[in-house]
Amino acid sequence: MSANAKAKEKGWKDVPIGGLILEAGSSEKYETGDWRTYRPVWDQDKCKHCMICWIYCPDSCILVREGKMIGIDYEHCKGCGICAHECPAKCIDMRLETELQAEGAAAGAGAGSASGATSGGEAGGK
């Protein structure tokens, strides 16, 4: 089927109206981590598990299990830096994505992905 024929399949009445949320709970599928310029890098050893970052994160990206921080959800973290600013232990460092990706590429395969979904181990447990 040609592109022209495909375009004729839908009329304007078939196109969803913009600005409508058609499915409940769909925001999780929108991976806002793609926007990020800076990545919060968490130092697990310095973390006091005070959960201040969890309170302040506007995108619910601080991953928690059994009352302890276990990482950061990089698929949704926009890199705003609020967690790093508020952390009393100063154990979150905002690093440029481009630098981290260059370091990852230099280290080669298997040395830690620059675009991994989480930091600090297991995912989930929000």
- Cβ pair 72, 33 in contact under 8 A: no
Residue 123 lies near ligand SF4 (rule: CB under 6 A): no
Give 9 or 55: the residue with its C-beta nearer to ligand SF4: 55
**3-class DSSP state for residue 8?**
coil
Question: Which DSSP string do the residues of 36-71 spell out, in sequence order?
Answer: -SEEEEE-TTT-----HHHHH-TT--EEEETTEEEE
Identify residues 14-73 at the interface with ligand SF4 (CB under 6 A). Answer: 40, 42, 47-53, 57, 59, 61-62, 69, 72
Q: In this complex, which beta carbon is closest to ligand SF4, that of residue 8 or of residue 46?
A: 46
Count helices and strands (H / E) in the chain: 4, 5
Backbone angles phi, psi at 123, to 5 degrees: -90, 170
The answer to whether residue 82 forms part of the interface with ligand SF4 (CB under 6 A) is yes
Residue 43 or 104: the one with the smaller Cβ distance to ligand SF4 is 43
> In terms of CB distance, is 31 or 107 closer to ligand SF4?
31
Q: For binding to ligand SF4 (CB under 6 A), which residues are involved?
A: 40, 42, 47-53, 57, 59, 61-62, 69, 72, 77-83, 87, 89, 91-92
